Chains A and B, each alone.
Chain A
């Protein structure tokens, strides 16, 4: 029997951790109890992007968008909506209800301005089903290429599309393929860099979890173009769901003969393996990634020679990022001109961003290049919650920088972000509001790079450590103007002299916060004050006159340093205060403030 209704349940890591699997099981059970299991499809799919509202359940064909669904809500949805056709309004995502009328979720602010190419199948297909991928024209690009195109044709098409590496570098994908194609060698390799390490970035994970076959197909296309017969995924072991779905997808592709010998009866043979990384940030750097696959310690080396000439086991090797690959099949199905027509002149196509930090709609979005940051943060992202003011957005993770209010209307592409002193990076966007201390933000990222530096070259190993020490001194009120100068000098020195991208970009958060928020650094140094009230050494908790004497703060205090009688003004003994902030959270009238 044909299914008349389908229930798509988000199976991304976010929703799975809030019980999407249990929700799926309950749906299956209830539908069976009603005897309508043949008419109703229950599908666990990839990430819908709006992680903030998860777990998300979408009922087709009417496209009803249920948000924050609990296991106990499932029976209601089945009994009312699926069995009787009555939408369960209390569970419908409120933004899809407009004056009592439920509209399609694709029309709401979060989805309206998005354009999904890399994420085209995420949240649409069942990632465990190769058939569903094929139903959406999966592997058609590979088949057509093997039938009609020469490897050089393929490379020309990718060049023409203007596709640039989505992992951060932004290098022309077609050019890279050309180098590896031209390089001589009996054995060449195709690698997929799925070592996603930027704090707050999760687009690669979402693609691998939601649409693994698109990446597999693209790697096979790349293999054909450069003359490789073997590919590897390098994915971190801390992405267990992605790894499981990838393994399943590779096996399915082998069963269908879409990987293996003589694919589509051609002379082309290709297979893919998976190599797990231990989650070191530096292994996202291509030469370090190669060392790690070879079984060596993950450390980068000098370039040139570039991997396209001398990569894995010294053979010509292509390394592309997950998102880059996910674009490839779409480019061949719809044509390079179509892709080139999207985005800006030098950055064609779309980019996936992971929105995080102080933003209403935490989640995953994909927009055409050239969309402004304001649109992304305020229209799609829903702006800053709790009525706070926007301060800055950090793009490019620990390698990027901060962009402030005045530059929010800049169209986003590879070059514009670089000229603002930040970078595209893999696409993490952390939004900060007035309560974020920029010195503390810089310190956070430096702390990360100090941890993740591989230690091979001195500027990165020693230099970042010294920078962190200076930042630590500033945040505890021991900073001086000399130290600040030293910090800046170190930053440029490390940038110029480090071996790989990790060290060369590590000082960026410091450089860009210094450029835009020097006054905050100076407040820490000259006035021994943290304007945002974050750096604990520089703040003091204090109870204002509007205290109603409810005693809640005194009861919440772990060190019992708040005194005062009922219905009278309370006082904090700052000598014993550990600045945990519990009193400020407990206070019902916001009388506890920092100064």
Chain B
């Protein structure tokens, strides 16, 4: 080890994976429906898009997780976003492109995208 700079590089390389093990407070929680119906209609790439985009943009207070079937199978893949104040928004028929849009608008700017929204709960 020659310098602190070198140490920092190693830290950055590994940090994303280790960060998951810390509790996230006061941010968004993104839950992707991963029931059989969800997976069949493409929830897995959507989930991975969220994971990668959130990490790439260093959105430290966003937790991306998966849940089971959300019930409304015709609208899969579905994504639920829970804000820090408890407000829940459910988006339906999400693909990778729409996922990126949710990251940009909702997760970064708290802007709900009505076009994809199928329900919301305060």
Partner of A134, one of B14, B33, B39, B66: B14
A: number of interface residues (CB 8 Å)? 39
CB distance from A81 to the nearest CB of B (A): 9
**Closest residue of B by beta carbon distance from A147:** B4
A85→B4 contact, CB < 8 A: no
B16→A85 contact, CB < 8 A: no
Q: Known A124-B21, A132-B14; judge A139-B7 contact (CB<8 A).
A: yes
How far is B20's CA from A422's CA once the two chains are assembled, in angstroms? 42
A85→B68 contact, CB < 8 A: yes
CB distance from A136 to the nearest CB of B (A): 6
How far is B55's CA from A63's CA once the two chains are assembled, in angstroms? 18
Which residues of A are found within 8 Å of B13, using beta-carbon distances?
131, 135
**Is residue A61 contacting chain B, with contact meaning CB distance below 8 A?**
yes
B10→A131 contact, CB < 8 A: yes
Which residues of A are found within 8 Å of B3, using beta-carbon distances?
143, 264-265
How far is B24's CA from A3's CA once the two chains are assembled, in angstroms? 17
Which residues of A are found within 8 Å of B36, using beta-carbon distances?
84
Which residues of B are found within 8 Å of A4, using beta-carbon distances?
47-48, 51, 64, 66
How far is B89's CA from A8's CA once the two chains are assembled, in angstroms? 30
B52→A84 contact, CB < 8 A: no
Kindly supply a per-residue 1/0 record for chain B positions 35-64, scoring 1 wherever the CB is within 8 Å of any chain A CB and 0 otherwise.
110010000000110011001000000011
A135→B18 contact, CB < 8 A: yes
A6→B11 contact, CB < 8 A: no
**Is residue B94 contacting chain A, with contact meaning CB distance below 8 A?**
no
B48→A257 contact, CB < 8 A: no
B33→A85 contact, CB < 8 A: yes
**Closest residue of B by beta carbon distance from A136:** B18
Most buried by A among B2, B4, B19, B32: B4
**Is residue B34 contacting chain A, with contact meaning CB distance below 8 A?**
yes
Which residues of A are found within 8 Å of B32, using beta-carbon distances?
85
Which residues of B are found within 8 Å of A258, using beta-carbon distances?
1
Q: Known A60-B20, A85-B68, A86-B68; judge A135-B1 contact (CB<8 A).
A: no
Tell me which residues from 101 to 148 in chain A have a Cβ below 8 Å from any Cβ of chain B.
104, 106, 124-125, 129, 131-132, 134-137, 139-140, 143-144, 147
Partner of A125, one of B18, B64, B66, B68: B18
Most buried by B among A135, A137, A140: A135
How far is B24's CA from A8's CA once the two chains are assembled, in angstroms? 18
B20→A61 contact, CB < 8 A: yes
CB distance from A188 to the nearest CB of B (A): 23
**Is residue A1 contacting chain B, with contact meaning CB distance below 8 A?**
yes
CB distance from A321 to the nearest CB of B (A): 27
Partner of B15, one of A41, A60, A135, A263: A135
How far is B18's CA from A60's CA once the two chains are assembled, in angstroms? 10
Partner of A263, one of B1, B11, B48, B68: B1
B67→A85 contact, CB < 8 A: yes
**Is residue A83 contacting chain B, with contact meaning CB distance below 8 A?**
yes
B39→A84 contact, CB < 8 A: yes
Most buried by B among A61, A139, A263: A61
**Closest residue of B by beta carbon distance from A259:** B1
B63→A61 contact, CB < 8 A: yes
A104→B4 contact, CB < 8 A: no
Q: Known A63-B23, A86-B68, A143-B1; judge A134-B17 contact (CB<8 A).
A: no
How far is B23's CA from A104's CA once the two chains are assembled, in angstroms? 9
How far is B2's CA from A147's CA once the two chains are assembled, in angstroms? 11
**Is residue B65 contacting chain A, with contact meaning CB distance below 8 A?**
yes
Kindly supply a per-residue 1/0 record for chain B positions 68-111, scoring 1 wherever the CB is within 8 Å of any chain A CB and 0 otherwise.
11000000000000000000000000000000000000000000
A61→B64 contact, CB < 8 A: yes
A interface residues (Cβ-Cβ under 8 A, vs B): 1-6, 8, 39, 41, 60-63, 83-86, 104, 106, 124-125, 129, 131-132, 134-137, 139-140, 143-144, 147, 256-258, 263-265
Task: Give me 9 A-to-B residue pairs in the complex whose CB atoms sit less than 8 angstroms apart, sorted by A's number.
Answer: A2-B51, A4-B64, A5-B66, A84-B34, A85-B68, A86-B35, A132-B14, A256-B10, A264-B1
Instruction: A134-B7, A147-B4, A258-B1 given; name 13 further pairs at CB < 8 Å.
Output: A1-B48, A8-B21, A39-B48, A41-B17, A83-B39, A84-B35, A85-B34, A131-B14, A135-B13, A140-B7, A143-B3, A143-B4, A265-B2
B interface residues (Cβ-Cβ under 8 A, vs A): 1-4, 7, 10-11, 13-21, 23-24, 31-36, 39, 47-48, 51-52, 55, 63-69
